[in-house]
Amino acid sequence: MLGIGADRNLPTVLLIDDDMISREVIATILTLTGYTLHTAVDGAAAVVMLDGGRCRPQVILVDVQMAGLNGVELIKQLRARSDAISGSSLPDTLATSVDGFLLKPFTPEALQKLLEENKPLPAPSELSSEEPVVSPKILSQFRQMMPEPTVREVYVAVVSDLKKRSGALETAIANHDATEVRRIGHTIKGGCGMAGAKQAARLGALLEAESDELSNSVAIQVELKLARENLERMLEVEFPR
């Protein structure tokens, strides 16, 4: 659900609260303030939403004193997916499990202040305009070894393989399969490294190294799509038909 007049500088929030009045009031206040907001009626519903890819929040605002899936177990499941901030006072057993807490009722200003104090980790990588899409040295070597159509086919194959790996990566992340994420990252690192596809190879290495942080893997997945699109543009420039 997109907030009214959503501000792209504000994080996307998933609100989990089994009390309808609290949920609706908080949702109304935050959407009117510019937050992009998704809501879940309880912990189990939130996990289903996240696993199904229905939302990718940067912050989860959760009432830890709900019926059903709650407390430490809920926080444990949510932390693998995003940052968790409690919307209620916390017992000592939970205080160390979340990134912060707000006591109801709270204002949007209080939430923003807490977010500033506990900023979610940035994406592990941001593609730089200064980073070459393809290693000029390796591209030059290929051109010395092979005719232009063959060199082009090498990079067409890289792009095609990245599309396939991206689909497998999305499935692995959804299944919380860190081992498979690591394997896919290793494969991307190796294949793209051999082809000199520098951006994609670096992102593959990050996936291999950070696969246990699945929230980071989601961010890297987004960057990997951009790296693939950059390769496609490189093909159009370097090998026009």
Q: Whose structure tokens read 């499935």?
A: 171
Residue with tokens 């000029």: 136
Helix runs in 118-213, H state only: 136-145, 148-174, 178-195, 198-209
Which range has the worst mean pLDDT, 7-11, 26-30, 86-90?
86-90
Please state whether the predicted TM-score (pTM) of the whole model is above 0.85: no
List the domain boundaries for the chain: 13-117, 136-238
pLDDT digit string, tens, across residues 133-186: 899 988 998 899 889 999 998 999 999 999 999 999 989 888 888 888 888 989
Rounded to whole angstroms, how far apart are CA atoms 198 and 171? 24
Closest CA to 69 of 103, 98, 40, 38: 40
82: pLDDT strictly greater than 60: no
CATH topology of domain 136-238: Four Helix Bundle (Hemerythrin (Met), subunit A) (1.20.120)
Average pLDDT over residues 188-212: 85
- Cβ neighbours for 175, distance < 8 A, ≥ 6 positions apart: none
Higher pLDDT, 78 or 126: 78
CB atoms within 10 A of CB 196: 22
Read off the pLDDT of each residue in 53-77 and give the average, rounded to a whole number: 73
Secondary-structure class of domain 13-117 per CATH: alpha beta
Stretch 221-233: mean pLDDT:
90
Residue 16's pLDDT band, with cuts at 50, 70 and 90, is confident
The answer on pLDDT for 5 being more than 70 is no
Q: Which among 158, 232, 167 is positioned nearest to 190, based on CA atoms?
A: 158
Please tell me what DSSP assigns to residue 6. Answer: -
